[in-house]
């Protein structure tokens, strides 16, 4: 079983799967030649998401969610590669005591309309004044969806929990209780976006930001 992604607003509006396209009738064979890519004017979505997306999401939402899920996989995969490549040698691993769990998934998560207005794409990491320390974890689709997926029991196997509340607490936890830190939902997200920023978004530099002294 894999997760279904719901668009809360679509469900709330009670639209369900009733998204038959009113312009489907206009599509005809001759129109195919007018585009460099195929346009079918159908409500059937031609996207290949990494995870199944619920049919209550319309095409517009499905395209964005597909990209968001792809970015989540990119983010998680890079964090894993960073650990495998550098292990304990990585300065980031040293402060994060990183650890990664499997990629299995089950159950469902609800995504509200507001997400579609606010979440940024991973390419914006280190842009728009973003810092790992100073900005919310859910700034990006990838961190937000990673967070959601970590709460899906068959991914986390019930092991990933909330132990720390913010960046400073997450760092403290990594120092004082590394075993717990490796299973902390926020620590995993901070680690993932921090190494993505350092390795990819702003190579060799990152955008961690300043940790306020307690």
Binding footprint of ligand NAG, residue count (CB under 6 A): 12
Q: Give the binding range for ligand NAG (CB under 6 A) out of 7-15, 45-53, 69-77, 128-136.
A: 7-15
Contact with ligand NAG (CB under 6 A): which of 21, 58, 90, 107?
58
Tell me: does residue 157 bind ligand NAG (CB under 6 A).
no
SS3 177: coil
**Cα–Cα distance for residue pair 34/96, rounded to 1 Å:** 53
Which stretch in 2-10, 74-82, 174-182, 187-195 sits in contact with ligand NAG by CB under 6 A?
2-10
Q: How far apart are CA 201 and CA 10, in angstroms?
A: 34
Which of 165, 152, 148, 141 shows the shortest CA–CA distance to 64?
141
Residue 93 CB contacts under 8 Å (≥ 6 apart), including other chains: 82, 83, 86, 87
> Counting contacts by CB under 6 A, is residue 61 touching ligand NAG?
yes
Determine, following the binding rule CB under 6 A, whether residue 32 of this chain makes contact with ligand NAG.
yes
Sole window of 47-55, 57-65, 166-174, 186-194 interacting with ligand NAG (rule: CB under 6 A): 57-65
CB of 77 closer than 8 Å to CB of 195: no
Residue 36 or 176 with smaller CB distance to ligand NAG: 36
CB 176 within 8 A of CB 109: no
Count of alpha carbons within 13 angstroms of residue 153, beta-carbon side: 3
Question: Considering the rule CB under 6 A, would residue 31 count as an interface residue with ligand NAG?
Answer: no
| Of the residues 5, 10, 69, 122, which one makes contact with ligand NAG according to CB under 6 A | 10
Single residue of 103, 121, 136, 153 touching ligand NAG by CB under 6 A: 103
Helix 141-150 × helix 185-196 angle, to 10°: 150
The Cα–Cα gap between 21 and 133 comes to 45
Candidate segments 48-56, 97-105, 117-125, 143-151, binder of ligand NAG by CB under 6 A: 97-105
Specify the residue, 61 or 79, whose C-beta has the smaller distance to ligand NAG.
Answer: 61
Note the residues at the interface with ligand NAG (CB under 6 A). Answer: 7, 9-10, 32, 38, 58, 60-61, 102-104, 113
């Amino acid at each position: 079983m894999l997760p279904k992604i719901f668009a809360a607003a679509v469900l709330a509006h009670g639209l369900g799967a009733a998204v038959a396209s009113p312009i489907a009738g206009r599509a005809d064979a001759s129109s195919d030649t007018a585009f460099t890519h195929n346009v079918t004017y159908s409500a059937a979505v031609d996207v290949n998401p990494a995870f199944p997306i619920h049919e209550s999401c319309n095409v517009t939402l499905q395209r964005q969610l597909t990209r968001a899920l792809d970015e989540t996989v990119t983010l998680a995969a890079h964090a894993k590669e960073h650990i495998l490549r550098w292990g304990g040698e990585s300065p980031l691993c040293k402060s994060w005591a990183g650890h990664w769990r499997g990629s299995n998934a089950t159950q469902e998560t609800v995504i509200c309309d507001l997400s579609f207005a606010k979440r940024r794409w991973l390419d914006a990491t280190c842009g728009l004044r973003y810092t790992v320390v100073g900005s919310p974890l859910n700034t990006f689709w990838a961190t937000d969806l990673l967070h959601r997926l970590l709460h899906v029991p068959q991914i986390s196997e019930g092991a990933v929990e909330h132990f720390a509340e913010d960046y400073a607490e997450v760092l403290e936890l990594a120092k004082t209780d590394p075993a717990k830190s490796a299973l902390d939902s926020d620590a995993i997200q901070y680690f993932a976006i921090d190494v993505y920023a350092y390795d990819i978004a702003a190579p060799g530099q990152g955008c961690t930001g300043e940790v306020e002294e307690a």
